[in-house]
């Protein structure tokens, strides 16, 4: 199974393709996540470990143990899951069961709030499953609780994903934004 940010954006500054290739195990095409996510069963084989993925991705890929990932100076965690930094990933982020994958080359092109949201969104898939809206809500509520996502930062995230068109697996970016605003404002979030 693989989840990816999915079809976060389209047009303008580049269309996000959530295509993740892992030779020898499977080739998966997933509608992206920024970010739209989908878990897809590729073949009846075991998912790779973070170490196996990093090895296959090549010498430039870097495995970051849990509790050691820094994004713009902020320590980011997703339980005890490690993160693989892979400049060749053709999306901003993705996840296999048990680990996250981030593309630092693409992340360097977005604001700090969007970077942190992408990580939290991918983490949301780890804890809440494949549903995109659920991962979006998880991410904005985590950001609000931890203090790194302000109302202005949420608007940056919305500007980032609003160009995304909906498809059979994902709502449009504007719909996702509307839902995230409601999640962010939920008075039960502490």
141 by DSSP, 3-state: which? helix
Lookup: tokens for 1: 């199974």
pLDDT of residue 77: 97
pTM above 0.85? no
Residue 15 pLDDT > 70, yes or no? no
What is the per-residue pLDDT across 49-108, written as a single tens digit (0 to 9) for each? 999 999 999 999 999 999 999 999 999 999 999 999 999 998 999 988 999 999 999 999
Mean pLDDT of 145-163: 96
What is the per-residue pLDDT across 131-143, written as a single tens digit (0 to 9) for each? 889 999 999 999 9
């Amino acid at each position: 199974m693989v989840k990816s940010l999915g079809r976060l954006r389209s047009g303008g500054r580049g269309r996000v393709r959530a295509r993740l290739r892992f030779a020898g195990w499977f080739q998966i095409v997933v509608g992206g996540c920024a970010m739209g996510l989908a878990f897809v069963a590729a073949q009846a084989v075991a998912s790779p470990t973070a170490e196996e993925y990093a090895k296959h991705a090549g010498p430039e890929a870097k495995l970051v143990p849990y509790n050691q990932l820094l994004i713009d100076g902020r320590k980011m965690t997703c339980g005890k899951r490690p993160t693989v930094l892979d400049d060749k990933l053709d999306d901003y982020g993705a996840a296999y069961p048990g680990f996250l994958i981030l593309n630092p080359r693409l992340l360097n092109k977005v604001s700090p709030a969007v970077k942190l949201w992408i990580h939290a969104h991918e983490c949301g898939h780890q804890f809440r499953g494949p549903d995109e809206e659920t991962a979006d809500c998880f991410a904005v509520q985590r950001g609000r609780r931890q203090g790194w996502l302000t109302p202005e930062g949420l608007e940056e995230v919305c500007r980032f994903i609003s160009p995304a068109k909906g498809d059979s697996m994902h709502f449009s970016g504007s719909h996702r934004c509307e839902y995230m605003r409601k999640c962010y404002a939920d008075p039960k979030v502490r």
